[in-house]
Amino acid sequence: MSNKQFPIRLGKVSFLIDKKSFYIISLLTFLAIVLMIVSLGIGQLFISPVDVIRAVIGQGTEMQNLVVNSFRMPRILLSMLAGAALAMSGAILQGLIRNPLASPDIIGITGGAALTTVIFLAIYTDRSNTLTMSIQWLPLASFIGAVVIGFLVYFLAWKNGRITPFRLVLIGVGVAAAADALTSLVMILGPIHSAAKATIWLTGSVNGTNWNEIATIAPWVFGITFILFIYARRLNMQELGEDLAKNAGQLVQRDRFMLLLLSTSLAGGAVAFAGGIGFVGLMAPHIARKIIGSAFGALIPVSALVGGMIVVLADILGRMLFMPLEVPVGVFTSLIGAPYFIYLLFKSHK
């Protein structure tokens, strides 16, 4: 083959590495790590990057170790993971539905999570505005909402033994609207304090993340990402259309189900812990497509890195701009992502 790609083969196992993709992914990974180190240093106690690295390996001052490892690290990891998960979820949906407007928001996954979240907050907030149930259970409530809505959409769209992407997305829009409506209803009927808390959740926030949460979400995201790599080639085929996918010997309906399941699980996991961070699921895959092209083997990791970096950067801004006040991370995701996206959009059209 050309010198732009090199194969790795070992017996029956074989992979093909595209050099350009490899370089871009390496570069983005490097940038993401730098960004995270910078982010670890930022806050009321400013720590230089060198000291951050020292603290990460436990060689800093006691104070630095505590701040970096216990306070900041979990939220930054969560930002990265949630951004990556949402971006991959969006990339899957855009390939599956073949519509640039597809995202976890539009087919109701985020809406479902929001609904169960506000219900949870409304039910377990008493008159004195205190939560009667441990907040630890909130992610579970959100996740259930995301998955239930995901499946509801899937089954409502199922007809005559098949799902068409077009019907899926239309039904998704309908169900999402119903979920949003119920969410508003619960917020208006419930106490205003829970509405305020719910608003922060709906905006998306990584404030106050602890290591337990990371221990739950990290295996989840990594596990699904691994399965996703197995499915990348199926997704490539899906994107060529149903006829060609069938021609290539793909069980189109089964794969659609699996891909939707993966997408829902990723988005559900992300919103469960970080709330309804907007924009990333819709736009990060577009940004990635402009950078690397359409083949999913590379598109998925690039989307993930772009999505993660957007959220980490948004979190930095959220903490810095109005110090000591903290702005929820979801506020800045599109503030960072949108201009860059628009730039890419028009650069590539010249």
Partner 1 sequence: MLKSNALKGLGLIIGLVIVLILMWASVLYGYTDITSQMIIDSFTNFDESNEHYIIQDNRIPRSLIAAAVGASLAIAGAIMQGLTNNPLASPTIFGVNAGASFFVVFGVTFLGITSLQSFAWFAFAGAAVASVTVYLLGSLGSDGLTPIKITLAGAAIAALFSSMTQGMLAMNETALEQVLFWLTGSVQGRSLEILMSVLPYLVVGWFVALLLGKHLNVLVMGEELAKGLGQKTYLIKLAGALAVVLLSGGAVAIAGPIGFIGIVIPHIARWFAGISYSWVIPYSAIIGAMLLLSADIAARYVIYPQEAPVGVMIALVGVPFFIYIARRGINE
Partner 2 sequence: MKAIQTEQLSLGYKDELVIEELDLTIPKGEITAFIGSNGCGKSTLLKSLARLLKPKDGSVELAGKDIDKTSTKEIARQLAIMPQSPQAPEGLTVLQLVKQGRYPYQSWYKQWSEEDEEAVQYALDVTGIKEFEDRTVDSLSGGQRQRAWIAMTLAQDTDIILLDEPTTFLDLTHQIDILDLLSELNEQEGRTIVMVLHDLNLACRYADHIVAIQGKSVFEQGNPDEIITPQLIHSVFGLQCQVTCDPICGAPMCIPYSRQRQMKGANRYAAQQVQAN
Nearest to 154 by CA among 253, 282, 255, 257: 257
Return the structure tokens found at 283: 């736009």
- Closest approach, Cβ 152 to partner 1, in A, equals 10
Instruction: Kindly tell me which of 194 and 209 has the beta carbon lying closer to partner 1.
Output: 194
Torsion sign, CA atoms 66, 204, 265, 305: negative
List 83, 95, 278, 308, residue binding partner 1 (CB under 8 A): 278
Residue 1 interacting with partner 2 (CB under 8 A): yes
Q: What is the DSSP letter of 5?
A: E
Contact map string, positions 148 to 187, toward partner 1, x by CB under 8 A: --------xx-x----x-xx-xxx-xxx-xx-xxx-xx-x
Residue 231 interacting with partner 1 (CB under 8 A): no
Residue 342 interacting with partner 1 (CB under 8 A): yes
Angle (deg, nearest 10), helices 280-292 and 73-97:
70
Instruction: Name the phi and psi angles at 250, rounded to 5.
Output: -95, 140
Q: What is the DSSP letter of 207?
A: T
The option from partner 1, partner 2, none interacting with 180 (CB < 5 to 8 A, set by class) reads partner 1
User: Which residues touch 78 (CB under 8 Å, ≥6 apart)?
Assistant: 206, 209, 213, 214, 217, 273, 274
Looking at residues 279 to 318 of the shown chain, list those that interact with partner 2 (rule: CB under 8 A). Answer: 289-290, 293-295
Residue 337 interacting with partner 1 (CB under 8 A): yes
The option from partner 2, partner 1, none interacting with 55 (CB < 5 to 8 A, set by class) reads none
Distance CA 115, CA 260 (A): 20
Residue 62 interacting with partner 2 (CB under 8 A): no
Identity at 59, one-letter amino acid code: Q
Cis peptide before 219 (omega within 30 of 0): no
Residue 223 interacting with partner 2 (CB under 8 A): no
Residues that bind partner 2 (CB under 8 A): 1-2, 4, 7-9, 12-16, 95, 98, 229-230, 233, 236-237, 239-241, 243-244, 246-251, 289-290, 293-295
